[in-house]
Amino acid sequence: MQTRKLGSNGTNTLEVSALGLGCMGMSFGYGPPHDKHEMIALLRAAVDRGVTFFDTAEVYGPYANEELLGEALAPVRAKVLIATKFGFRIDQEGRREGGLDSRPEHIREVAEASLRRLRCETIDLFYQHRVDPAVPIEEVAGAVQDLIRAGKVRHFGLSEASVATIRRAHAVQPVTALQSEYSLWWREPEAEMLPALESLGIGFVPFSPLGRGFLSGKIDERTTFDASDMRNTVPRFSIEARKANKALIDVLTAIASARGVTPAQLALAWLLAKKPWIVPIPGTTRLARLEENIAAADITLSAEDLAQIEQSAARIPVHGARYSQQMARLVDR
């Protein structure tokens, strides 16, 4: 697989596969955790197919996802780059209801624990999972800078941070990558975020590049989700919203069919065409879907293709909020 660079300022550059793998759903968020041995096989299959960039977080499980990656990737650790995250307070029962916590001492504690679970000596990319309004971002950046100087972290990242917060953090410790949602059905980053990242030389890692599975064309108003699936709480996945949003899927399916690709591949190829420093991290728990997604990295969309997608998508409003009210409060504005 081709590679891309996140960050563009000397030591701030991280070279990764053009598509990464979001690993959350293997352990958390989309129903019960999947069989560990099957997920280990899937992770190693991703490496065999050229994926070098793997995304996790301590809160995915909690802890279980980091442990899974640690075991699966230990034999190939020199070939891969692992991103993980800090910023939530996890209580003694292993729940994240404790809220946000980006105090420097907590960041150091999380780094040490994540290193043990990931079975490595250095975290390649350490994101603040959500901006903590109780802790100045300068203190957060300084704490990660100390970890970088100590050799325990290589690169600093932010997730769902505002442009103003990114600029303040970047002035203390260069930010290599921002991770936030971006796809054909959530395009808010195009207004202010993408220009700011380009001017600062910061890479962009879109999570949910397939709209939590919706842009694959495999979900409609008849689809049911497990009781523990987070999509049950997302307004955009209400039955009414799914019915309305099918209009976008119909358009993408028609364009994809004409190009001989799947809707998911079209959505990923569109993202890759936006900027050379964008690295989407679609998640999956199935080998067939992994291979489908990876193939998108070899699709080149023409100017005519991109114009057709833009014009068609612009005519179709997307219905429903992307987060529940509880989760929306954690997004930095």
Domains contained in the chain, number:
1
Grade residue 324 by pLDDT with cuts at 50, 70 and 90. Answer: very high
Residues 6+ apart with CB under 8 A from 254: none
Q: Give the pLDDT score at 126.
A: 98
Tens of pLDDT along 120-151? 999 999 999 999 999 999 999 999 999 999 99
- State the catalytic residue, choosing from 30, 60, 63, 127: 60
Q: Nearest Cα to 99, choosing from 287, 272, 326?
A: 326
The CATH number of whichever domain residue 52 belongs to comes to: 3.20.20.100
Q: What is the rounded average pLDDT for all residues in the chain? A: 96
Q: Nearest Cα to 177, choosing from 115, 80, 85, 265?
A: 85
Assigned domain for 54 exists: yes
Per-residue pLDDT at 11 exceeds 80: no
Assigned domain for 165 exists: yes
Q: Give the pLDDT score at 9.
A: 74
Tens of pLDDT along 234-274? 999 999 999 999 999 999 999 999 999 999 999 999 999 99
With a threshold of 0.95, does the pTM exceed it? Answer: yes
Q: Nearest Cα to 86, choosing from 17, 12, 152?
A: 152
Assigned domain for 243 exists: yes
Checking 323-328 for CB contacts under 8 A at 24+ apart, the result is 323/234, 324/233, 324/234, 324/235, 326/233, 327/233
Q: What is the mean pLDDT of residues 215-227?
A: 97
Residue of 92 and 69 predicted with greater confidence = 69
What values do phi and psi take at 83, rounded to 5?
Answer: -105, 135
Assigned domain for 107 exists: yes
- On the 0-12 / 13-18 / 19+ scale of CB atoms within 10 A, 306 is middle
Note down the domain range covering 18. 3-328
127 included as an active-site residue: no
Q: For residue 106, count other CB atoms closer than 10 A to its CB.
A: 18
